[in-house]
Homo-oligomer: A and B are copies of this chain.
Amino acid sequence: MFIHIDPDNGVAIYDQIVHQVVFAVARETLKPGNRVPSVRELAKDLAINPNTVARAYQQLQQQGVLQAVRGVGLQVAEGAWEPCHAQRRARVRERLADVLREALQSGLTRQEITSLIESETQRIEGSSS
């Protein structure tokens, strides 16, 4: 399963699902035509309320990322990669701008920020490799 939920991190669960699906499409873990788990199945796997999954899927359909195929279920829509990729990039850019703004306002110098970024990047790359 490509979706992992943290119910205690403050972000709404349905939001976490939405982002992770978009994310998976963006990096082609999910390709157009691939099916996603049914609402019931995913809800059971993640031990959450089916309503919550349904809400996430509904939102993904509205965005055009998923499409319903009668008698089959939900699958990734044809042209989904392009907007997912763009959305990801915009999201990262926005959050990055946010945290940089806060860092600069809080009186950190660019030097300090750069070194923070350097150390964090290495820490993350190290732990995920």
Chain A residues in contact with chain B, CB under 8 A? 7-8, 12-13, 23, 26-27, 49, 59, 62, 67, 69-71, 88-89, 91-93, 95-108, 110, 113, 116-117, 120-121, 123-125, 128
B107 x A27 contact (CB < 8 A): yes
B116 x A92 contact (CB < 8 A): yes
Closest to A128 in B: B104
Closest to A68 in B: B8
A100 x B88 contact (CB < 8 A): no
7 residue pairs, one from A and one from B, having the closest CB atoms: A27-B107, A95-B99, A88-B106, A92-B103, A97-B120, A23-B106, A100-B120
The interface residues of chain B lying within 8 Å CB-to-CB of A110 are 121
